[in-house]
Amino acid sequence: MTDAVIAYPGHAEPAAFTQAELDWLPWLEPLPSAELTERHWAGLVDASRAKSPYFMLLARDPDILGARTKTDKDIFYNTRGGLPRAERELAAAAASRFNGCIYCASVHARFATQFSKRGADVQRLLDEGVGADLDARWNAIVAASVALSETPVAFGPAHVQRLRAVGLDDLQIADLIHSAAFFNWANRLMLSLGTPAAQG
């Protein structure tokens, strides 16, 4: 039956933040691949995403999925100028750590480590939380991502000044705003529509 919640008896979700690869189990039934139309393929953007239960669940509304994915890709992958990729990923990981999305944090902490080569600092963000003392520039980026993730939003001109003081220009600050804001979108989908699982 399509309109039913999927149960995973005995499933134990990961209880700590990690940079290890996790799986994700949907609580609602993804679109069966036999039902994919041209519009669904367009919404998936990359055909390989048809293997992901997360994207196949979101493919039930293909138009918003396609626009979401293209927004995501430009915010993170368009590195023509602006904030270095490592720090966009740091913003994503910090927002995910603060909101409590263990799955999203695992993916973007890995990317932050890959692009920054500062795996120990990234791990301290996961272990100690968003108050971890990393360095002046990363502390300012994490604090800005957290202020943007609060509800009501707490980000204000003082955060902008602090980012400028550690060397960010306005395009870089706009990239940070978009990176943290986007993870407030992604976290809410990953958290609410399924559950992370240890691989293996």
Partner 1 sequence: MTAAPADAIDRLVGANFDAIRAERPQARDNAQASFVALFHPDDAGDFPVADRHAVAVFVAALHGQPAIAAFYAEALPEAWPSLLAAEAERGATHGPYGTFPAGPLSREDKAGKNYRVDATNRAVLGGRLAAALEHAHFLVLHPRDAAPERLQALLDAGWTTTGIVTLSQLVAFLSFQIRVVAGLRALAAAREATP
Exposed / middle / buried, residue 197 (Cβ in 10 Å: 0-12, 13-18, 19+) = middle
Closest CA to 53 of 84, 22, 76: 22
Size of the site for partner 1 (CB under 8 A): 72
As a whole number of angstroms, the distance between CA 127 and CA 135 comes to 16
Q: Does 20 help bind partner 1 (rule: CB under 8 A)?
A: no
Residues 103-142 that bind partner 1 (CB under 8 A): 129
| Per CB under 8 A, 9 contacts partner 1 | no
Tokens coding 81? 């100028």
Burial of residue 158 (CB within 10 Å: 0-12, 13-18, 19+) is exposed
Q: Which range touches partner 1 (CB under 8 A), out of 47-55, 72-80, 84-92, 112-120?
A: 72-80
Phi-psi region for residue 97, left (φ > 0), alpha (ψ -120 to 50) or beta?
alpha
Looking at the Cβ atoms of 13 and 117, the one nearer to partner 1 is 13
Among 137, 96, 93, 83, smallest CA distance to 113 is for: 93
61 binding partner 1? (CB under 8 A)? yes
**Is residue 197 a contact point for partner 1 (CB under 8 A)?**
no
Site for partner 1 in 74-103 (CB under 8 A): 74-75, 78, 80-82, 98-102
Stretch that binds partner 1, among 21-29, 46-54, 116-124, 132-140 (CB under 8 A): 21-29
Q: Which one among 49, 60, 118, 124 touches partner 1, defined by CB under 8 A?
A: 60
My answer on whether omega of the bond before 152 falls inside 30° of 0, hence cis, is yes
From 67-75, 108-116, 117-125, 133-141, span contacting partner 1 (CB under 8 A):
67-75
Q: How far is the CB of 117 from partner 1 (least distance, A)?
A: 26
Name which of 185, 189, 190 is nearest 72 in CA terms.
185
Q: Determine if 19 is a binding residue for partner 1 (CB under 8 A).
A: no
Q: Which residues, numbered 34-53, are part of the site for partner 1 (CB under 8 A)?
A: none
- Residue 167 as a binder of partner 1 (CB under 8 A): the answer is no
Q: Taking CB under 8 A as the rule, does residue 188 contact partner 1?
A: yes
How far apart are alpha carbons 20 and 157 in whole angstroms? Answer: 36
Smallest separation, CB 7 to partner 1 (Å): 7
